[in-house]
Chain A
Amino acid sequence: MVHRHPLLVALALAGVSATSPATAVTTLAAEVNGMVCAFCAQGIEKKLRALPATRDVYVNLPGRLVAVELVEGANLETGQLAAAVREAGYEVVSVRALDVPAASLRRKKR
């Protein structure tokens, strides 16, 4: 299930739109509580990069954003993403599917 959240930071920073159900999902963007330090981000990134469906990961601390770009053709349920972040010790508020690569979120932030 994909949750829509009005505060999703990814959209605010990148100005991108969520995918429609018919569009291939390339990136899952999660709004995460408690992720405030570099070492928090490193732990989440390591856990997410270990998933077979992950192509790239982008973490933005001030924006509370964790974005996972998926390998082409791979599938990652939002619940799986939320569980991985939860296992790393943090709380996922919402997850949204985007049709942009993680690198573009990274570039637009910088």
Chain B
Amino acid sequence: MKPWRSRVRRCAGALACAFACAQADAGPMGYQGSTMAMGDFGPDWSESWVNHALTTRDAFGVGATWMRSADGSAIRRLTEATYTRLVHRWNLPHAQANAWFVVGAGTMTGTGFGGTRFAWTPGAQFDYETTRVYLAASGRLYRAGGVRHDVAAVRAGFSFHEAEYDEVQPWFVVEARRMRGLSDGVEVTPMLRIIAARAFVEIGANLDGQARLNFMYIF
């Protein structure tokens, strides 16, 4: 590995640990009455889920996650029902900050253990956003019997220009993510995010050149 890559990874890892959290998305639920579908696809981690916001603060959904260790030796498959709660929102004159809680319960199968195990996945996210800047830190625990795959991530991004809400808005986003028991390193992924109408798409590649695709759509 090139020295600068190693330095970047160490710094990102320290940042991730400082926030002590996991997977970061945009807000994990839509507005009241909406249904949100999201997907996150890479060579070692793929997940998709959908939830419905019953209130401004509560959403219920289902999801599926496939994860693989960096050396390819371990594979996990998780299916779960989820509950997402907006714990608190700070409405500022030109910004918004949110504290989220999410928990899932379901089943996990995979290599290294037989049968199906009950899995539970509590997590939290904190984000801060203006019309031009986005910061988020999140963490989620993936637990099933003796299996512990905790994920922590931080994200930072900026938009290239101001936009009306119904205009296309491109963003540059960088994510640093660490997945316990799956990869020893911190995965750093720069991505281009395009927000258009009720959807966003993120396309990028981590520093090892592995592609990443995320999407979100609100119905």
Contacts and interface: CB of A to CB of B under 8 A. Distances in A.
Do chains A and B stick together as partners?
yes
B125 to A, nearest CB: 15
A87 B164 CA distance: 22
Nearest to A50: B33
Interface stretch (B43-51, B85-93, B114-122, B144-152): B85-93
Interface residues of B, number: 31
Interface in B149-196: 162-166, 169, 195
A64 to B, nearest CB: 7
The main secondary structure of chain B at its interface with chain A is: loop
Nearest 3 pairs between A and B by C-beta? A43-B31, A34-B91, A41-B165
A88 B91 contact: no
Contacts of B8: none
Contact of B164 (A40, A46, A61): A61
The main secondary structure of chain A at its interface with chain B is: mixed
Contacts of A89: 31, 56-57, 86, 89, 91
User: B89, B131, B195: which has the most chain A beta carbons within 10 Å?
Assistant: B131
Contacts of B27: 37, 39
B198 interface: yes
Interface residues of A, number: 27
A56 interface: no
A62 B30 contact: no
B34 A43 contact: yes
Contacts of A40: 31, 96, 165
Interface in A33-53: 33-44, 46-47
B56 A87 contact: yes
B166 A36 contact: no
Contacts of B164: 60-61, 109-110
Interface string A49-72: 000000000011110100000000
Interface of B: 26-27, 30-34, 56-57, 86, 89-96, 129-131, 162-166, 169, 195, 197-198, 218
A87 B57 CA distance: 10
A37 B47 CA distance: 24
28 contacts: A34-B89, A34-B90, A35-B96, A36-B95, A36-B129, A37-B131, A38-B169, A38-B197, A39-B26, A39-B31, A40-B165, A41-B165, A41-B166, A42-B31, A42-B165, A42-B198, A42-B218, A43-B30, A46-B31, A59-B165, A61-B164, A61-B165, A64-B93, A64-B94, A88-B31, A88-B32, A89-B89, A90-B91
